[in-house]
Structure 1
Amino acid sequence: IIFGISIFHAFGHQWPCQIVYHPRKCVGFGLSDGEGCEHFWSAIKPLIPSLRVSGYNQRIFVIDEQVRHLDNNLSILSFGHWLWRRWGHCQEKNTVAEEGLKMCDIAVEALRQEWKAQVTMQTKPAPKQSKNKGAEAIAAILTLENILEQHHSMVHELENSILSGTVNIIDVDLQLLEYRGKCKRIADNIQKCKWGLGVSDQANLKDLWNNAYLHIRMNACAVKTRLRDRLRSRKFEIEKLEHSYRRTVNEMKLHSHTELSVKGCEPGIVKLSKTYNGLCTQLQALIRQGKAPQNALPPLPIAREGLFQLDIDDEVWQDIDLDDTDSHPPGWLANDGVQQGIKYMLELDHCEEEAVRVMQERCALQEWMQEEWMQVESVKEQSSRGVWLDIVVLSFY
């Protein structure tokens, strides 16, 4: 069982939820919009005026008859036309997706890796503020340092055992490679944690256990990360609105619904920016009071004007004294070609799923028609035999 959200209602959910449950972003839904119930309700909506003033039993009877009429007449008679329309729609979208992938000129496997990284990044829990944020980070670093020291001692023991010549060198060498790899990974994690704290390798972490500056700095970093995630999610959601021009009536309704849903998230984003600016003010005060580490720089506050534009030089991307890592933005976020390629890749995958589904429906329709035809032929044959027997009996008498 695969859970999903209908396309019309998906835009009322947050972007991480859409990545997991949107029919156009998860596997198995093809080009289905998940609005089967709405299609049925649209077919019986002419009954609303008359049934509004009718009795209970009459209402149930009319609805049952209408459903039977739709099932036996309209659905069966238009099933072939429906299959033809679905197949044409699928092939049209498939052609557009293939041409788009050729224009992007990016390998499909690379796009799948980027999409996987995007899903992992945008669905992981966002960091939260905490009263013990700095102490928790320092405790994690100290724990990792203890583990690293134990691994280093194990490496020395294995090296000494090799020098002694009393052990199997091949087995010990494999263990040595394993522990050295663990040491490298743990050392990298420690370095990242220290970058997050903004402390040097020579700093005494135990002396910084209850440091107010580190506590506020970690909370500011968490708030800014949440703010960025919310702004990115809004950008991905509103992108469809910015690139849509000609729309049908249903698409106009979906466009309006999406726009209202996106606009409803703006107050929360503005509140996050105010919280972050308040933390920046506290950091500036601690620096002026001399309660911050040496050479500490106050982070830049985020202006309310232009907050939702996400220009490349906005303050929301500036990590002065908050993030010392020198990492490049991922392709799914900064590369327009990768973003377009991911869209075409997902579209092509869903077209292939839709083609399989339509073919299965066609086979089911053919089998049903064959069975019905055989039943009709059987009845005709039986009826012709019955008439012949009646003629023989009458002629005998």
Structure 2
Amino acid sequence: LYTLDSQIHQSDHESLQGFGKWIARKWQNAEARRIEGNKDVVELQESPEFLRHQWEEQVASQTKPLPRQSQTAGKKAVEEAVRLQKVRDSLVTRISRFEDIICDVDADGVDYIDAEEHLPILRKQLETCQNKLSQSKRALGVNDHASFQHLTKSKYINYRMNARALKMRLRMRLRARKFERNCIERSARRQQYNECKIQDQTEDSVKRRDPGIQKLARSYNKHVSDMLELIRRRQAPRNAVAPLPITLKGLFNLDVDDNIWEDIGLNDDDDEGPPPWLSSERVRKGIKGILLRDWSDEELRRL
């Protein structure tokens, strides 16, 4: 019994010692990763809030559903714009009524409290609705005073909405390809000789998707040609401007100044270029650094 008890105590002691060494090793690795990540964040000279915001935008952009082509895309876009306009008008009416109650010195106390409670919520809803309506109008290419009804059966608007959907899908595919290529190039530097075959297979799988991306670009250019033809025949809305076709040569370079980022004729009055999380190598490095630092902090807290 004494021998058995001694063996159990010895086993517990060794297990505890091994567990302590494991925790120490994990702690040292987490500290090293945190220092590495923090170095990238400090070198960028941007606030952690900015980097986290860029990461959230990247996740939202890469996980949102992509728009699809449809024979009734133009009609659906017009109907959605009309719906948003009605919602906006309704919100404006309700806000005006509540503001009148607050300004009325003889208003009932319950109504006054109700108005004070609902006004901030309604104003926030109005701001959101106004932004969505502005985006819809830019997508349709109409100004703030234009009527949507005459656009319901417009072939040009249908081509425009489908071309917009194609371009957004093409951008997403090109972004995904760029990130995959970057991962392959980084892993190729670290891989041993016996892992080269796996790396070659991964690279081949990326290249196999290239014809599909080129097909998207050709479909987009076909829509652009159709829009130009409608403008030539004067069957497009007044002052309509067709978007620029995409040059297939150098399509996969994804340079900042490529016309893949230009939305002329597709998203009027929207001059924003590619986001920093995509166009800036320094910002991408900073995002990886802040994620590595946050992950290390979380692991250190658990340890």
TM-score scaled by structure 1? Answer: 0.63
Task: Report the equivalent of 1:187.
Answer: 130
What is aligned with 2:119? 176
AA in 1 matched with 2:84: L
| Cα distance change, pair 155–258 in 1 and its aligned pair in 2 (3 A) | same
Which of 344, 349, 352 is 2:289 aligned to? 344
Q: Are the equivalent residues in 1 in contact too, given 2:228–2:242 (CA < 8 A)?
A: yes
Whether 2:144 is the aligned partner of 1:212: answer no
Match 1:146 to one of 82, 86, 93? 86
- Pick the aligned partner of 1:167 from 82, 89, 108: 108
Distance 2:300 2:281 in 1: 29
Distance in 2 (alpha carbons) for counterparts of 1:121 and 1:185: 18
Secondary structure at the aligned position of 2:251 is classed as coil
Aligned runs of 1:82-161 on 2, under 5 Å? 83=22, 92-161=32-101
* Corresponding position of 2:275: 330
Partner SS, residue 242 of structure 2: coil
> Which residues of 2 match residues 1-397 of structure 1 at below 5 A?
83=22, 92-161=32-101, 162-163=103-104, 165-168=106-109, 169-243=112-186, 244-249=188-193, 252-324=196-268, 325-351=270-296
For residues 261-296 of structure 1, the C-alpha deviation after alignment (integer angstroms, 9 at most, x for no partner) is 221221111110111011111111111110111221
Shift of 1:349: 4.2
Q: 1:172 to 1:354 in 2, by over 3 A?
A: closer
Distance in structure 2 (CA, Å) of the matches to 1:125 and 1:345: 27
How many residue pairs match? The answer is: 280
In structure 2, stretches of 5+ residues that fail to align are: 1-14
Q: Please say if residues 261 and 274 of structure 2, whose CA atoms lie closer than 8 Å, have aligned partners that are also in contact.
A: no
CA 1:255–1:97 in 2, change beyond 3 Å: closer, same or farther?
farther
- Quickly say closer, same or farther: Cα 1:283–1:246, change in 2 above 3 A: same
**SS of equivalent to 2:266:** coil
Q: CA deviation at 1:198?
A: 0.7
Superposed CA RMSD: 2.8
For the 8 Å contact 2:262–2:273, the answer to whether it is kept is no
Larger radius of gyration: 1
**Structure 1 unaligned runs (5+)?**
1-75, 360-397
- CA deviations 1:234-275 (Å, max 9, x no partner) are 111111334453532365345324312221221111110111
Q: Tell me how far apart the structure 2 counterparts of residues 352 and 146 of structure 1 sit (CA, whole Å).
A: 49
- In structure 2, how many angstroms separate the alpha carbons of the residues matched to 1:285 and 1:299? 12
Does structure 1 conserve the Cα–Cα contact (< 8 Å) formed by 2:160 and 2:266?
yes
Q: Which moved more, 1:178-187 or 1:267-276?
A: 178-187
% same residue: 36
TM-score of the aligned structures, taking structure 2 as reference length: 0.81
Tell me if the contact between 2:156 and 2:236 (Cα under 8 Å) persists in the aligned partners: yes
Read off the aligned partner of 2:161 and give its amino acid letter.
M
The higher relative CO (CA closer than 8 Å, separation ≥ 6) is in: 2
